[in-house]
Amino acid sequence: MGFCYPGRAKSGDNPPRPECASLWHQVLDAHLPDIRLTLLIGQYAQAHYLSDRRKATLRDTVQAWKEYLPQGYLPLPHPSPRNQPWFAKNSWFEEELVPAIQVAVRALDL
């Protein structure tokens, strides 16, 4: 989200710097007019792009992925090794959502 590494915190990385997304995403998007699918990886991307449309938790937001796909958004958890317990507790992600991601990407007909 910030286009730069924000540095380490006690339990992982610091959050992205807030001014970066508002400064650069619109500029970048203007040069990419044919974006049909945006992968919203992690809570910061989901907060920025979904705003008040996201659910109470990351899990709930990701599980409601079908609500966001018509607008071209696909919320996903961050694939960090620190999130392995999340993936272990949410087997529906690999069973349901990973195949749907594959279908959505193939449908882009790149």
Tokens of 70: 């018509």
Tokens of 13: 């990385």
Q: Cβ neighbours of residue 74 under 8 Å, at least 6 residues apart?
A: 37, 38, 39, 40, 65, 68, 101, 104
CATH for 36-107 is 3.40.470.10
Per-chain mean pLDDT for the chain: 92
Span 56-64, average pLDDT: 97
Map out the domains of the chain as residue ranges. Answer: 1-33, 36-107
Assess whether pLDDT exceeds 90 at residue 75.
yes
